[in-house]
Structure 1
Amino acid sequence: MSDSESVPPESPPRRIGIVEDHESVVIGLETMLADQPDLAIAASAATVPELLAQGTALDLVILDLRLSDGSSPQSNVEQLRSAGLETLVFTGAENPYLVRLAAKAGVLGVVRKSEPTATVVAAITAAANGEQVVTTEWAAAIDGDPGLLDVGLSPRQRDVLAHYASGEKAARVASLTGLAEHTVNDYLARIRAKYAEAGRPARTKTDLYKRAVEDGWLPMPRHPDQP
């Protein structure tokens, strides 16, 4: 190398923030990234508002879906995006409904906590560089359980199903969706027909609730002792 040539300066590491209310998970991520010169955990907090209040400059936020403050994944992602921050979800991914809420708000991807370290690090690296992280788990959560036949509900039909199956009467669903009550009843008949054609009959309101949970349009019921 001649005297006139200079070594280009090294790029600073991507700064990572973590929103996670289990300390062991934060420690685990710190351990995973400890020998990654391109990545550095710069901040962590139990909630999104707490992380944002720190005012730390970040390139990416790793977010758990289910936090003890009861916040919505969609709201959390929207808050982060409003602050100019992209999000990678790091979760057990056991709840398609929560994954859908986050995906709807626009995350870069979803990674299971059970994945091997190399997979997690690769996902964080890609997301920190602004790349989409497409995993089988994310696709399955968005599209529904791959073991269940998709019934092909339209967005409007999914909206009607979610309201009705959660316990609302047809008249109330009509009010909430801006549809006529007879239109709601027509949608429900079509929804039942589609489930029947897929070999997943939904004759009763309880059946519709089960199908909506299976497909991730409603959250899974929690145990009474669950936070």
Structure 2
Amino acid sequence: MADERARIGMVDDHELTIRGLRDSLADHPDLDFVASAPTVAELFDATTDLDLVILDLRLRDGSSPVANVEAIRARGLDVLVLTSGEDPFLVRSAARAGVLGVVRKSQPIDAVVDAVRSAARGEMVPTIDWAAAIDGDPDLAAVDLSPQHRRLLTLYAAGETATRVASTMGISPETVNDYLGRIRLKYADAGRPAPTKTDLYKRALEDGWLPFPRRRRKS
């Protein structure tokens, strides 16, 4: 990509952050800030002709970082996370979903631009914050769930009954209970037991399968 401009898209719902990055990249002829949007779907409604998507982890629509990363990667695009970094669980989940790196918004602008340039070339952008979020908590061992198990967990942990989950997924209630037993066993084997529905909800939050509840604004 030495003789081409890398086409950059951004998913963020903070206008100040978007303007700041757009203006900063404008000073670099090898980087072309093409489009921004508050959600992944809206970005792709605007364009898919991109080389890299810069993603904020906590969006107002409450979407899961894992789902957002997977949706972007399904388009054959790389992802660089640009976040305030206040939630290590979200950083962990994004890292496991296959992003090229996680950069804090508080970093100097030159460092952010260098990270964007490296990611646009398809290079990993390792940072201390990223490594600490993934490896710093031994009690949060990874649990590998199949797509079917993951979907069931997100439905059930979000509050659906086993009967409703069975209807939504087109499987029997007995299969739902069997899958829940397997999911609980995997978490128990990882040292993260989830015997109750509330525990499963916590695990789904920790691993990024469910979005964290939005913070209420003070009136």
Q: How high is the TM-score relative to the length of structure 2?
A: 0.65
> Would the aligned equivalents of 2:78 and 2:100 in 1 still touch at CA under 8 Å?
yes
Kept after mapping to 2: 8 A contact 1:77/1:107: no
Overall identity of the aligned pairs, in %: 53
CA distance 1:27–1:157, shift in 2 (3 Å) = closer
| 1:92 corresponds to 2:84 | yes
State the secondary structure of the residue aligned to 2:156. helix
Structure 2 unaligned regions, length at least 5: none
Write the distance in 1 (CA, Å) between the matches of 2:141 and 2:208: 12
Structure 2 counterparts to residues 184-195 of structure 1, below 5 A: 184-195=176-187
CA distance in 2, matches of 1:197, 1:81: 30
Matched, 1:158 2:155: no
- TM norm structure 1: 0.63
Structure with more contact order per residue of length (Cα contacts < 8 Å, sep ≥ 6): 2
Contact 1:16 1:42 in 2 (8 A): yes
SS in 1 for 2:212: coil
Confirm whether residue 202 of structure 1 aligns to residue 189 of structure 2. no
Residue 121 (structure 2) aligns with: 129
Matched, 1:148 2:127: no
Could you say which structure has the larger radius of gyration? 1
Q: Distance between the aligned counterparts of 1:72 and 1:215, measured in 2? A: 10
Q: Deviations over 1:115-140 (max 9, x none)?
A: 44344222211232344545576678
Q: Provide the rounded CA distance (Å) in 1 between the counterparts of 2:35 and 2:108.
A: 23
The verdict on how the C-alpha distance between 1:15 and 1:131 changes in structure 2, with shifts beyond 3 A counting, is same
1:154 counterpart letter in structure 2 = L
From the superposition, tell whether residues 90 and 174 of structure 1 become closer, same or farther in structure 2 (CA, over 3 Å).
Answer: same
Cα deviation code 1:188-208 (max 9, x no counterpart): 233334434444332321122
Q: Which residue of 2 aligns with 1:3?
A: none
Whole-angstrom CA distance in 2 between matches of 1:26 and 1:99? 24
Contact 2:143 2:190 in 1 (8 A): no
| 1:113 to partner: Cα distance | 1.9
Tell me if structure 1 keeps the 8 A contact 2:95–2:101.
no
CA contact (8 A) 1:32 1:117 kept: yes
In 1: Cα distance, 2:68 partner to 2:198 partner: 29
Q: Secondary structure at the match of 1:221?
A: coil
Give the conservation status (yes or no) of the 8 Å contact 2:205–2:212. Answer: yes
One-letter code of the match for 1:202?
Answer: A
Count of matched residue pairs: 214
Q: CA deviation at 1:166?
A: 1.4
| Range with bigger deviation, 144-153 or 168-177 | 144-153
Write the letter of the residue equivalent to 1:206.
T
Give the structure 1 partner of residue 214 of structure 2. 222
Instruction: Check conservation: 2:10, 2:55, Cα contact below 8 A.
Output: yes
- 1:81 & 1:170 partners in 2: Cα distance? 30
What is the letter of the counterpart of residue 148 of structure 1?
A: D
Is the deviation greater in 178-187 or in 92-101? Answer: 92-101
